[in-house]
Amino acid sequence: MPVDITLIIVLVIALALFFDFTNGFHDTANAMATPIATGALKPKVAVGLAAILNLVGAFLSTEVAKTISGGIIKEGDEGVLITPELIFAGLIGAIVWNMVTWLLGLPSSSSHALFGGLIGAALVGFGIGAIDFGVLMSKVILPAVLAPLTAGLIAFVATKLAYGVTRRYDGKPDGRSGFRYGQVFSSSLVALAHGTNDAQKTMGVITLALISVGLLAPDSGPPFWVVVVCAVAIALGTYMGGWRIIKTLGTGLTDVKPAQGFAAETSTAATILASSHLGFALSTTQVASGSVIGSGIGRRGSTVRWKTAGRIAIGWLFTLPAAGAVGALAALVAHLGPWGVILDAVVGIGTIVFIFLWSRRDTVGHHNVVSEVAASGEAVVIAPEIEPKKVAK
Amino acid sequence: MIDWMGFIVVLVAALTGTVLVVGFYALGLKMLVRAGRVPVVIPAAFTDAITVLTPAEIKSAAKKAAKAARKNPLTPMQKRVALIAAYCCFTVCGLAILFGIYLIVPALHGG
């Protein structure tokens, strides 16, 4: 096999695994932000649990997609020929955007970032005809609007219900802290579902790259080593914990209480399961964010920080074009040949290291994701919540 | 093509599932409280989102729960019924979780 093909395949696998890793730490928040925020689980325990469930999940479901972009890019005989260079450029776009959104603490969809990167790369290589805009609309853009609305509505109803059922008018203990136990289960379900869905995407990318250079027969499943490394990469990423995003989702949008957290996580789990089994794909990240906002609207006396919500929405808006722009740029350079690919890799790694170093200026980790405000809180008297009294008629 | 019917089905299914689980869990907690076993679950870690509890406050919450349990107007029989009802509710939630796992693991539903 020629040296340059070996080089690019090695690079694609390395990048795909790193993408898997960023996917893991980007999405820890979806499952574990609210249990961490309500104190149902200690931060380290929560990410550890999520990591194990992602690892298990990755092994449970290894039926990979036959197309890399789910039909957004016209692949196959009449459309675009998926080359390792295209996958390579797409992955660079996706990873860079994942790192940027992580730095900003924004929950954003890793799969949309991957789609964006691939679309950008395909546009450069094959022009606008390579993209199926109908599929793009129905599989990415419209679900991005519907996912948070759906999950938000469901979480709103669930939160109202949870508070309504447990409400007491006599001021006696209502047992709502018991929702903390429930949170452990509902968020575990989300983590497991994530492992089965998302590790699979990377397995698909690597498998398709191997098929494209003839190392694997067409239509073959992922080799076992691919399954193992993908599972480990996503679990490691999850364990690293995207603390910045956990902070945004757990405490940035609204102050989450146990009943709310349980309602939000259950809504996330139910919506994801329904969407993946009834055939209307919704992004986990967008569902989880919508759930948290919905539960914030649903609890009396809680406020939703719409400014943060707005920042997240802007992040979603930019995911596709931004990852696409980076992917397109990387594809342009990669067309220069092996040296272009090497240049891409060097610049890509440089960008990632730069973002990482930049993030060191103000680290957010398990030690301070639960903020300093709480630590000093013992000195602060906080007025107890006043429960509504039933008005005598 | 936008699959609106698919979307509606997802919305209804997810809403039904969530309402079922959250409703039964909340009902279970209510029954538990009725039965005089108020769960007091202390946060494992404190965050901004939690009104900070001092050890004294935690103690007083537990005390309040115990007091409410003592003053419970229900007869022992009624308490037992409430407790059984609570466990039934939690069982429904547990089954829902198992159904979730069934849906997640392809080997179980042959998908």
Q: Please write the tens of the pLDDT for every residue from A157-196.
A: 999 999 999 888 877 778 888 899 999 999 999 999 888 8
Average pLDDT over residues A356-367: 80
Does the beta-carbon distance from A178 to B39 stay under 8 Å? Answer: yes
Closest in A172, A179, A370 to B47, CB measured = A370
Q: What percent of chain A has pLDDT over 70?
A: 90
Closest in B7, B22, B41 to A177, CB measured = B41
- Read off the tokens for B79: 């308490």
Does the beta-carbon distance from B49 to A43 stay under 8 Å? Answer: no
* Mutation target vs A (from B19, B22, B53; most A CBs, 10 A cutoff): B22
At A78 the pLDDT is: 66
* Total structural domains within chain A: 1
Q: How many Å lie between the alpha carbon of A6 and the closest alpha carbon of chain B?
A: 34
Which residue pairs, CB below 8 angstroms and at least 24 apart, start in A43-46?
A: A43/A241, A43/A243, A43/A246, A43/A366, A43/A369, A43/A370, A43/B45, A44/A366, A45/B44, A46/A187
The C-alpha R_g of chain B, in whole angstroms, comes to: 20
In a domain, residue A12? The reply is yes
Does the beta-carbon distance from B43 to A154 stay under 8 Å? Answer: no
Does the beta-carbon distance from A196 to B104 stay under 8 Å? Answer: yes
Q: How far apart (Å, rounded) are the C-alpha atoms in residues A30 and A190? A: 8
pTM, two decimals, is: 0.87
Does the beta-carbon distance from B44 to A41 stay under 8 Å? Answer: yes
Q: Which is higher by pLDDT, A386 or A237? A: A237
Does the beta-carbon distance from B49 to A180 stay under 8 Å? Answer: no
In a domain, residue A50? The reply is yes
Closest in B22, B27, B68 to A172, CB measured = B68
Does the beta-carbon distance from A37 to B9 stay under 8 Å? Answer: no
**Maximum C-alpha span of chain B:** 62
The torsion angles phi and psi of A60, rounded to 5 degrees, stand at -70, -35
3-state secondary structure A174-241: CCHHHHHHHHHHHHHHHHHHHHHHHHHHHHHHHHHHHHHCCCCCCCCCCCHHHHHHHHHHHHHHHHHC
Does the beta-carbon distance from A370 to B45 stay under 8 Å? Answer: yes
Does the beta-carbon distance from A57 to B104 stay under 8 Å? Answer: yes
Does the beta-carbon distance from B51 to A384 stay under 8 Å? Answer: yes
For residue A257, is it left (φ>0), alpha (ψ between -120 and 50) or beta? Answer: beta
In a domain, residue A272? The reply is no
Estimate to the nearest angstrom the gap between the alpha carbon of A38 and the chain centroid: 21
Q: How far apart (Å, rounded) are the C-alpha atoms in residues A245 and A342? A: 31
Helical packing angle, A179-212 and B4-34, nearest 10°:
150
Contact A176, A258 (CB under 8 A): yes
- Read off the tokens for B21: 């689980």
| Closest-CA residue to A54 (of A252, A171, A189) | A189
CA atoms in the 13 A half-sphere facing the CB of A130: 17
Does the beta-carbon distance from B29 to A166 stay under 8 Å? Answer: yes
Chain B residue numbers with beta carbons less than 8 Å from the beta carbon of A151 are 14
In a domain, residue A246? The reply is yes
Task: Search chain B and give the residue with CA nearest A275.
Answer: B10
* Mutation target vs A (from B3, B5, B8, B18; most A CBs, 10 A cutoff): B18
Chain B residue numbers with beta carbons less than 8 Å from the beta carbon of A277 are 103
Q: How far apart (Å, rounded) are the C-alpha atoms in residues B102 and A356? A: 39
Contact B68, B38 (CB under 8 A): yes
At A376 the pLDDT is: 47
In a domain, residue A15? The reply is yes
Cβ neighbors of A11 (< 8 A, separation 6 or more) are A88, A341, A345
The C-alpha R_g of chain A, in whole angstroms, comes to: 22
**Any idea which of A301-310, A338-347, A354-363, B61-70 has the lowest mean pLDDT?**
B61-70
Q: How far apart (Å, rounded) are the C-alpha atoms in residues A295 and A284? A: 16
Does the beta-carbon distance from B47 to A196 stay under 8 Å? Answer: no
Chain B residue numbers with beta carbons less than 8 Å from the beta carbon of A142 are 2
Q: How far apart (Å, rounded) are the C-alpha atoms in residues A217 and A227? A: 17
Mean pLDDT score across all residues of chain A: 85
Q: Residue A260: pLDDT band by 50, 70, 90 thresholds?
A: very high
- Full DSSP string of B6-72: HHHHHHHHHHHHHHHHHHHHHHHHHHHHHTT-------SS--TTSPP--HHHHHHHHHHHHHHHHT-
Q: How many Å lie between the alpha carbon of B81 and the closest alpha carbon of chain A?
A: 18
In a domain, residue A297? The reply is no
Q: How many Å lie between the alpha carbon of B73 and the closest alpha carbon of chain A?
A: 13
Provide the residue range defining the domain that includes A101. Answer: 3-133+177-250+319-369
Give yes or no for B32 touching A (CB within 8 A): yes
Contact A380, B52 (CB under 8 A): yes
Q: How many Å lie between the alpha carbon of B49 and the closest alpha carbon of chain A?
A: 5
Question: What residue segments make up the domains of chain B, in order of their start?
Answer: 4-109
Chain B residue numbers with beta carbons less than 8 Å from the beta carbon of A150 are 7, 10-11, 14
Does the beta-carbon distance from B18 to A263 stay under 8 Å? Answer: yes
Q: How many Å lie between the alpha carbon of A246 and the closest alpha carbon of chain B?
A: 12
Per-residue pLDDT reduced to its tens digit, A319-346: 999 999 999 999 998 888 888 888 888 8
Give yes or no for B85 touching A (CB within 8 A): no
The ipTM assigned to this model is 0.88
Closest in A174, A193, A271 to B14, CB measured = A271
Contact A291, A347 (CB under 8 A): no
Average pLDDT over residues A341-364: 87
Does the beta-carbon distance from B10 to A280 stay under 8 Å? Answer: yes
Per-residue pLDDT reduced to its tens digit, B47-91: 655 665 667 777 887 788 778 777 777 888 888 898 999 999 999
Per-residue pLDDT reduced to its tens digit, A273-296: 998 888 777 888 999 999 999 999
Closest in B2, B9, B51 to A142, CB measured = B2
Residue pointed to by tokens 């979780």: B97
- Whether the per-residue pLDDT at A380 is higher than 50: the answer is no
